[in-house]
Structure 1
Amino acid sequence: MGAWGFQAFENDDAMDWLQDLEDGGAEVVRHGLNQVTDGYIEAPDGSVAVAAAEITAAAQGSPHGDLPENVVTWVRVHGAELTDGDAQLALTAVERVGGEESELAELWDEADEPEWTESLDDLAERLRTALR
C-alpha cells in the first residue's frame, strides 16, 4: 500500500487519481465513488473513493482542514456540480470502504492504525452534516 499517512490524500492511488480529476468535472468524482458500490473493494478503489468523498464533503461546505491546493482549486471551480445525491453516494462509499468487504480496511487494521478509522468517521460525520 503506497501510503505515507492515513489521510485521504496521503497515498499514491489518491494522488494519481487527482491527475484525472484535474481534467474533468463532477463525473470524475462520481466515477470514483461508484467504484465501491458493490462487491469486494480493492485498496486502490477504496483510496480513490475516500479522496472523492473528501472532495464531495468540501464541495458541500464541510471540508477537511488540510486539503491539497489543487483540490481546493477544483472545488472552487467545479464544486457546485456536486449535489446532495453525490453527498449521499459519498457517505455510502465511505461506509463501504470502512467495512468488512474492503481490502483497505483490512490493510489499515493489520497496520494497527486506529487514526485511519477515526478519519473515516470524521469524514462520514461531515457528509452527514452536509446532508442535514
Structure 2
Amino acid sequence: MGAWGFLPFENDDALDWLDELETGGAEVVRGALTNACTGYLEAPEGSVAVAAAEITSACQGSPLDDLPENVASWVTAHGAELGPEDVELALQAIARVTGDESELAELWDDADEPEWRESLTELSERLQAALR
C-alpha cells in the first residue's frame, strides 16, 4: 500500500484515480463507489472508494478541511451532478471499506493506526448529515 497518511488523498491509488476523475463527470465517482460494494474489497479499490466518498461529501457542502486543489476544482465544476442517491452509495462504500471483507481495513488494522477508522467515521457522519 503506497500510503503516507490516513486521509483520503494520501495514497498512490487515490491520486492515480484523480487523473481519471479529471477527465470525467459524476459517473467516475459513482463507478468507484459501486465497485466497492460487492465481493472482497482489495486495497486499491478501497482507497479509491474512500476518495470518491470524500468527493461526494464535498459536493454536498461538507468537504475535508484540506481538499487538493484539483479535487476542489472538480467539485466546483461537477458537484451539482451528485445527489442524495450518491450519498447513500458513498455510505454503503464506506461501510464495505471498513468491514470484514476489506483488505484496506486489514492493512490499517495491522498497522495499528486508529486514526484511519476515526477519519472514516467522521466522513460517514458528514455524509449522513447531508441526508438530513
- TM bin (shorter chain): over 0.9
Q: Which letter maps to 1:125?
A: E
Cα displacement (A) at 1:86? 0.3
Letter in 1 for 2:4: W
* Mapping for residues 80-91 of structure 1, pairs under 5 Å: 80-91=80-91
Q: Distance in 1 between matches of 2:27 and 2:39?
A: 21
1:57-97 C-alpha deviation (Å, 9 max, x unpaired): 00011111011000000000000000100000001101110
Q: Which amino acid in the other structure matches residue 34 of structure 1? A: T
Aligned AA (1:58): A
- Give the letter for the 2:6 counterpart: F
Q: Does 1:56 align with 2:56?
A: yes
Between the two proteins, what is the percent identity of the paired residues?
Answer: 70
Separation in structure 1 between the aligned mates of residue 128 and residue 62 of structure 2, nearest angstrom = 10
The equivalent of 1:46 in structure 2 is: 46
In the TM superposition, structure 1's runs of 4+ consecutive aligned residues that sit over 2 Å from their partners are none
- Looking at structure 2, the residues matched to 67 and 119 of structure 1 have their Cα atoms a distance apart, in angstroms, of 14
Q: What is the one-letter code of the residue matched to 1:23? A: T
Q: Which amino acid aligns with 1:78?
A: H
- The code of the aligned residue for 1:71 comes to V
Matched with 1:32 is 32
The one-letter code sitting in structure 1 at the alignment partner of 2:49 is A
TM-score scaled to structure 2, two decimals?
Answer: 0.99
**Residue matched to 1:15:** 15
Aligned residues: 132
The residue type paired with residue 85 of structure 2 is: G
Residue deviations 1:12-68 (CA, integer Å, cap 9, x gap): 000000000000000000000011111100000000000000000000111110110
Match of 1:5 in 2: 5
Query: Map of 1:106-125 to 2, 5 A cutoff?
Result: 106-125=106-125
Unaligned runs of 5+ in 1: none
Q: Distance in 2 between matches of 1:42 and 1:35?
A: 10
Q: Give 1:29's aligned amino acid.
A: V
Q: In the TM superposition, what are the counterparts of 1:59-70 in structure 2 within 5 Å?
A: 59-70=59-70
Structure 2 unmatched ranges of 5 or more = none
